[in-house]
Every structure is written in structure tokens, then in C-alpha cells.
Structure 1
Amino acid sequence: MTMNDINTILKALPFINDDLIYFYNYHSNKIENNSLTLGETVTVLKDGFGVSKPLKDIRDVENHHRALHFVFELAKSQEPLSLRTIREIQALVEPERTGFRTQLVEILNTDVKTAEPFEISLRLEQILENYHRKDENKDEQDFFYKLAEFHIAFERIHPFIDGNGRTGRLLLNLELLKAGYSLTTIKFEDRPMYYDAFSDVEKMKILLEKSVQDTIEMIVEKAK
């Protein structure tokens, strides 16, 4: 299925439903080693019942749910991505650990050097400026390439003490939704490919396209 095929299908499908929301929430949290299963995620979010899992994991699912609905509202406004938007989303993801970090951090299992605390704001402004400049010059690079490039740069900066991965994937979906795509999930099963893609923009671009296609195929299958 080509991206043109996907775009055609998108026009004929509802963009978001509850199953897609629960699926996304589960996988984005699972990538960060959250212990809730998909069924438990649905139980917490849909039925409002407790599950026998660590309270932090339950809170992470609930907070992520609020952040995702905030992203839906932002997408409707078509407001350009900004530093304020990034901070607002992370504050919903990790309400007890908001604001840019003031200490050095490492990204586990990588040799990536994250930003020094004093340079976080400047580096974020730089990648936002670069992202919007490429948006103005649409022929320079395709949408998925520039989105992959932004995501890698954001995660390398790692601006927060916690919630960087979940916030970064919410930012991906904010831009996908604004561009007319559906809510898109990078699945836990694709985590090795996802981590590997942080070393190569083209790999991340391919993964994003795959994730969009996988999501659409899931929607089509459920609609049968």
C-alpha cells in the first residue's frame, strides 16, 4: 500500500475512535516499560476500574489519556508547533515533574549525548525554526522525512527529566493529525526498530510510514 493509497483511505474513514485511542495509549506507555496490558488499559480508561498494577503505571496511562485529548484539541486549531505547546503536553504527561530539567541525563542503551540543561531552550527553538522553515519549503523534503528529523532531534535534546518519549510521540501525532492523518501508533513490537532508527533519519521516516500504514490497515480490518 502506497502513501497515496493511505491518503485515499483516510478520506473515507473516521479519524479517531476509542479502540484506536486505547491502542495508542497502551503501546506508547509499553515502550516505556509500563506494566499494564492492553485489556487493563481499556479497563482503566473506559470502565474507570482499578487494576492490580503499580499506581504510577496506572497514573501514567490516565495522564497520557488527558494529554492525548489535549493534542486532539490542538490539532483542530492548526496552531504551529511551539515551545509552549511542547511544555504544555509534557505537563499533562508528567504533571508532577514539569518544566525543563536542571540536571544531566542519559538515554539508556545509547551513546547519545543529551543537551546540557542551560542549552535546552535554545536547542528546542533551533529545531522548531528548522522544522517550520522546511514546512515553508515543501519541495525541499517530504513531510515524513522532516517529521522524522524533528523527532530524532527532540529526543536527542531530551528536555525533560521524564516523559520525553511519550511527549515526543504525542508531538508526532499532533503534526500527523494537523496534516490530515489518523492517530498513529508506533507499536511496542517495533521498539527495536524504533530505537535503531534514532541513528538514521531515513530509518525513522520508514518506520513512521510503516506505522501510519499499520494503523490504517487495523482501522480497515475492524470496519469489515
Structure 2
Amino acid sequence: MNILVIIISVLLSVICVLLALLQHYYFINKLYKRPSINKVVQNYPIQTIDNQEEDMVLYDLNSVLSQPKKTDRVEFIVKNDKVMGTDSEVYNTLQAAIAFKLSGKSHKAMKLFEHAAAIAPENADVLNRYGEFLEQQHHDVVTADELYVKALTYSPDHKAALMNRQRTAPLVEGLDYQLFRTIDSRKDFLKKRMKLDSFDTVKKQAYYLHIYHTVGIEGNTMTVEQLRYLLETGQVVSGKSLVEHNEVLGLEKAMQYIKLLVRTDYIGIKEILGIHRRVMGHVDPIASGVFRDEKVFVGSHIPPPHDQVPALMESYVEWLNSEEAQSMHPVRYAALAHYKLVDIHPFVDGNGRTSRLIMNLILLKAGYPPIMVLKEQREKYYDALKTANMGDVRPFVRFVAQCTLQILDMYIYGTRFLSIDGITEGKENRLLTIAEF
């Protein structure tokens, strides 16, 4: 009998332990269960926006923008921040790069030329030799020409750079002209498709992408789904700061204002201040729509003193509405309008967003869709602006031209896949539409 009691007691103890373990496991799993991807990324009831077709358009347009573009041009960025090497280090690196070039080891030569340009960004010999390498080995005349110009900026009498520049200048001018012709042909093609019923859907989703990338360049961390939810419902997005909410709301108001300004013939101080007031009105109501009254620094660039801003803005507006400016190709005109304003830097904050909106206002007036600078293009965008500050604005104009091509391709793709390929077609098949153009 005693043995039976002991056995029963042991069994009861084992059962209690098992129950305790199961209970512990259940609560731990419940407390620390990893949330779904939707909850991690969104953290708000996105299911209230129930339009599967529009979701698909948004996803696919964003995918097109993310597709790597085929190009013969080498991705090259010269860092203007000085990371200087010793004279001997620069000389040895340059000589090694030339030796690898002559021996046919192009990849190793490229790495050494890149390193030489990084440690000696103002060395005319390095810049000139690097340009020659890109021109001869990669047939990249445009980047080579930019390097020759940089070399002459630091050493105006550099004979080799002068000779190279004389040869490449007319070639690059022809390529730039061809680029603008390509933009015009795609614009004309898109214009024929604007009457499609599907175009409104494409424009609506492109609108969200525009806001997403524009505020994203400035550091806003909202996803495109989150800002879309904010704008469509007016409800707060959990986990995002008040400033990020206000940046999105302010830009949305400014873009609506731009639509009204498209109908006007004159862009004046009042209109520019009105754009900035809407961009920054939610973030900083006191400084919004007011010229700065303090000195500012933009990296290594020092904008004009604040007491010169009113006069400079008067000159800017005069140029903006001049026959000279308006007779340019619209893309060049828009790019220069952007650069000239951001160079003056008339506001304490919001200069980039205001400049990009004025750029798009000019493009909209000329019949182009508004362009967007992608978050992923941030480094190239700022590098082109730095190069313009050094005296060569052509790379920035080309950057804006490439962004224009990019947005035209996105719209062409969007209207084609909605009207021809159909929503239910496979994504890989739909991506062929741009290549066919």
C-alpha cells in the first residue's frame, strides 16, 4: 500500500511539473511572439485602405523606379570633402594606376584611380589621368569631360587637361542635345497616352511616391504605405515623430499649391514664400515663409550673408521670369532654377524641398510630369550640387535630365501595363514594356 501511495505521489508531481512547463511556454510565447511583417513595418490598421488594384499599381511603379538602368556610363562620384594623402602616396598611387592600365589590368587600374582621386581631389594630374582612363577604357566621354573641367578648375593652365577638354567639349554638347531630344520624344509619347482612363490611378500612386522620396531625402523615415495611410485617413502613424508627420502634411499642402500656380504666368517672391510657408508651416510656423536672418552653412558651401538674401531673391525672380530663362529647354531651365535658389539658400530650413517644388512647377508648366529624386539617389544628387558650387553646373542639369527620363519611363510603364498588359499579368512580362519603347 505504501508503495502505491509513493508511485501515485510521484506521478502527480510529474504531471504538475509538466503542466507548469506548458503554462510557462504558453505565456513566454504569447508575450514574445514575433509580430507579422505588416505589424513591424506599418503598426497601424492599413486594412482600412481596401483597394487592391491601387495597391498593385503603387507596388509596381515603385518596383520600376528601383530597377537598375542599363547605361554605358561609369558610376563615378568625386568626393569634394578633402581626405588628403601625402605627395609621395598620391604619386605612387597614380603611377601604379597607369602601370596597371598599360598592362591591361583595367579593374585594378580603376581601383587605384578611384583611390588617387579620393586622397587628392584637387590634384589636376590625377583628375586628368583619371579622365583619360575613363574615356579610353570605358568610352565614358561625359564623366571624362567633367574630370577635365575639375582639373582646369584647380589648375587653369594644365596643358593636357586643356587639350582633352577641347576635344571632349563638342562631343559632350552633342550628347546633351541628344539626351534632351530623347526626353522630348518620350514626353510626346506619354502625352498621347494621357487620355487613358488608367492614367488617373497612375498619377495618384505616383503622387504618394513623390512625397515619400521628397521627404525621405531630408531624413523622414515613414514608409510609402505609412504616409499614404496618414494622408488618406488623417490618423497618426504609431512610432513616428510629430515632425515626420508634419513634414508629410506640409509637403502635401505645398504640392496642392503648386497645382494652382501652374495656371499663373509669373513666379514672384510672394509665390516662393507661399511655397515655403506650406512646406514648413506645420514644422516651424514662425520661420515658414520668411527669409532667414542668420548665417547658415551647407557642408563645405557657405551661402551668401543673410542681409544680401532679399536683393539676391529679387534678382533670382527677375531671371526666373526672363525671356532668356524661359527660352531654354524646360529641363535645363528647371534644373538651373533649382540650383540658383538652393545656392542662395534663402531660408533656415526647407530650401531643398522648396527648390525641388519650383523645379517641378516649371516642368508642369511645360507639360512634363513632376520628377522625383529618389532616396537612393541622395548621394549623387548632393554630389552634383557640390560640383555646381565648384563652377560646373552641367552635371546637375544632366542629373535632373536623367530624373526626367526616369519619371517618364515610370508613367509610360504604368499606363501601358494598366491598359495593355492587365493587372493580373505576371510582373516579369509587364517590365518588358519600357524596353519595348
- Superposed CA offset, 1:127-182 (max 9, x none): 222233354672xx433223222211211111111111111111111111011111
Q: Find out whether 1:159 has 2:346 as its counterpart.
A: yes
Secondary structure class of the residue paired with 1:12? helix
C-alpha separation in 1, matches of 2:367 and 2:413: 20
Structure-2 residue corresponding to 1:113: 302
1-side partners of 2:277 and 2:228: how far apart? 23
> Which residue is equivalent to 2:397?
205
Task: Give identity over the alignment, percent.
Answer: 26
Question: What SS does the aligned partner of 1:44 have?
Answer: helix
- Structure 1 residue aligned with 2:312: 123
Equivalent residues in 2 for 1:1-224, closer than 5 Å: 2-14=182-194, 17-52=203-238, 53-75=240-262, 77-95=263-281, 96=285, 97-98=287-288, 99-107=290-298, 110-135=299-324, 138=327, 141-198=328-385, 199-200=387-388, 201-223=393-415, 224=417
Larger radius of gyration: 2
Q: Secondary structure at the match of 2:407?
A: helix
Query: How far is the alpha carbon of 1:221 from its aligned partner?
Result: 2.0
Distance across 2 between alignment mates of 1:87 and 1:162: 13
Q: CA 1:203–1:38 in 2, change beyond 3 Å: closer, same or farther?
A: same
- TM normalised by structure 1 equals 0.90
Structure-1 separation of matches of 2:193 and 2:324: 26
- CA deviations on 1:191-220 (whole Å, 9 max, x unpaired) are 111111112321111111111111121122
Q: Letter of the 2:368 partner, please give it.
A: Y
Gaps of 5+ in 1: none
Q: Which runs of no fewer than 5 residues in structure 2 stay unpaired?
A: 1-178, 418-437
- Give the CA deviation at 1:13: 3.8
Instruction: Assess if the C-alpha contact under 8 Å between 1:145 and 1:202 holds in 2.
Output: no
Query: Which amino acid counterpart does residue 27 of structure 1 have in structure 2?
Result: H
Counterpart CA distance in 2 for 1:129 and 1:173 is 19
- Report the secondary structure of 1:159's partner residue: coil
Q: Tell me the distance in 2 between the aligned counterparts of 1:123 and 1:129.
A: 10
Root-mean-square deviation (CA, aligned residues, Å) is 1.8
How far 1:31 moved relative to its partner?
A: 0.5
AA of the residue aligned to 2:244: D
